[in-house]
Amino acid sequence: MKDLSDYRKSYDKDQLIETNIPADPIALFQKWFYEVDESSEIETNAMTISTVGLDGFPKARVVLLKRFNEEGFVFYTNYNSEKGKAIAANPNVCLSFFWHSHERQVIIKGIAQKVSPNISDGYFESRPDGSKLGAIVSNQSEIIESRLVLENKLKKLEEAFDGKEIPRPEFWGGFIVNPVSVEFWQGRPNRLHDRIRYQLQEDYNWKIDRLAP
């Protein structure tokens, strides 16, 4: 077994102080997102989504954030996938971002729900044809015999839709995660990291607390 106990890193790139943060977590998320994105971080919008599966186990996987605003955070998937079925059974999810270049994390707890069909249609239409067909080809999370099954199915669809519009399948679309808690983590020296948590209140204002690292 490899011993990792000597792996050490000092975090000293920034700080997170209550006097310098907005009252709304989405405003701070936007600021952080674009600061990281401007530094050429690879896939700044890559995020981990954790769900509670039908088997009772939590499961985390990386998806891509495609939109965010005051209402929440949007990503797209196959509704019949493992994550889609998990969300249908339990819409309480967690999103997390880790931007190592800036020594930052954001952890979002929220409730997921499907976006309206017209929003899913609009995003699907913006995708390259290959991505559209890929969404149709893959029965996501289902067992398949081999990769050749996918490749043959894709070839047939390419022929069938040659020169034609590719419609969005009903089983594919977006989810929006409406946040109830947003935690910002900024690495600091000596492991005394800054952790600021926003929690949504009944009056729709945000309560801000500092957490021990």
Q: What is the pLDDT of residue 7?
A: 82
- SS3 state of residue 211: strand
186 touches 98 (CB < 8 A) = no
Against a cut of 0.85, is the pTM above it?
Answer: yes
**At residue 163, what are phi and psi to the nearest 5 degrees?**
75, 10
Q: In whole angstroms, what separates CA 86 from the centre of its chain?
A: 15
Residue 133's CB is within 10 A of a number of other CB atoms, namely 20
pLDDT of residue 89: 98
The CA–CA distances, whole Å, from 52 to 6, 39, 47, 89, 110 equal 34, 34, 17, 9, 13
In sequence order, what are the residues at sequence separation of 6 or more whose Cβ sits closer than 8 angstroms to the Cβ of residue 196?
16, 18, 21, 183, 184, 208, 209, 210, 211
pLDDT at 1: 87
pLDDT in tens, 2-21: 888 878 788 889 999 999 99
Provide mean pLDDT across the span 51-77: 97
Condensed to tens digits (0 to 9), the pLDDT of residues 112-134 reads 999 999 999 999 999 999 999 99
Q: Cα-flanking dihedrals φ and ψ of residue 104, to 5°?
A: -130, 145
Arithmetic mean of pLDDT, 49-54: 98
- Distance from C-alpha of 184 to C-alpha of 57, rounded to nearest angstrom: 26
- Categorize the per-residue pLDDT at 109 as very low, low, confident or very high, splitting at 50, 70 and 90: very high
Mean of the per-residue pLDDT values for the chain?
95
* pLDDT tens track for 78-90: 999 999 999 999 9
Predicted local confidence at residue 127, as pLDDT: 96
For residue 40, is pLDDT > 90?
A: no
Q: What is the mean pLDDT of residues 90-108?
A: 97
Positions marked active-site: 191
Q: Which domains does the chain have, with CATH numbers?
A: 18-120+171-211 (2.30.110.10)
pLDDT at residue 41 is higher than 90: no
The three-point CA angle 121-53-145 to 5° equals 75
The span from the CA of 75 to the CA of 132, in Å, is 15
Confidence bin at 69 (pLDDT 50/70/90): very high
pLDDT at residue 120, as a whole number: 98
Termini Cα distance of the chain? 29
